[in-house]
């Protein structure tokens, strides 16, 4: 049950931050002040990592800028939807404790997670191959 609570808290914080923060092509902003966080790989080597643009993508998606969100990170909208899905899923898992969560639902949730991870990797390989900039 503890892992459900931890994931619930983290996902709720990510969703709340997505609505509080603003993002654009240049960076992420907190009430107009640009946050200094940058990708260390991109700053030192000049190459985007597999998650570059994800924070901005999630913030844009939360604010309804779907096309811009997709442009910054092609998997960002799907990851945001998965994070939002985790909130009711984890609340339900905590609520039914100590009974066991439906095994099919656990398998579907795990499969979607693995598919998203694979999609992030494939998206990065496509970027590295020069097919998308």
The number of angstroms, rounded, from the C-alpha of 40 to the middle of its chain's C-alpha atoms is 18
Kindly give, in sequence order, each residue whose CB lies less than 8 Å from that of residue 26, ignoring residues fewer than 6 positions away: 34
pLDDT at 131: 60
pLDDT at 132: 57
pLDDT at 115: 94
State pTM to two decimals: 0.83
Number of neighbouring beta carbons within 10 Å of residue 104: 8
Structural domain of 122: 2-128
Residue 30 lies in a domain: yes
Kindly give, in sequence order, each residue whose CB lies less than 8 Å from that of residue 75, ignoring residues fewer than 6 positions away: 54, 116, 119, 120, 123
Kindly give, in sequence order, each residue whose CB lies less than 8 Å from that of residue 42, ignoring residues fewer than 6 positions away: 48, 49, 52
**Could you give the number of structural domains in the chain?**
1
The number of angstroms, rounded, from the C-alpha of 119 to the middle of its chain's C-alpha atoms is 12
Residue 10 lies in a domain: yes
Residue 120 lies in a domain: yes
Residue 50 lies in a domain: yes
Residue 71 lies in a domain: yes
pLDDT at 75: 92
Residue 133 lies in a domain: no
pLDDT at 72: 86
Residue 42 lies in a domain: yes
Residue 86 lies in a domain: yes
d(CA 121, CA 127): 10
pLDDT at 31: 86
Ranges in the chain, pLDDT < 50? none
């Amino acid at each position: 049950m503890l892992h459900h609570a931890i994931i619930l808290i983290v996902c709720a914080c990510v969703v709340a931050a997505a609505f509080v923060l603003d993002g654009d092509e240049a960076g992420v902003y907190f009430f107009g002040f640009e946050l200094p966080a940058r990708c260390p790989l991109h700053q030192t080597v000049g190459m985007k990592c597999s998650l570059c643009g994800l924070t901005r993508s999630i913030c844009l998606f939360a604010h309804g800028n779907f096309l811009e969100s997709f442009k910054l990170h092609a998997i960002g909208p799907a990851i945001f939807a998965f994070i939002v899905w985790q909130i009711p899923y984890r609340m339900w898992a905590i609520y039914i404790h100590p009974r066991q969560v439906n095994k099919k639902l656990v398998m579907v949730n795990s499969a979607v997670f693995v598919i998203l991870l694979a999609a992030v990797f494939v998206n990065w390989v496509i970027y590295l191959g020069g097919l998308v900039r």
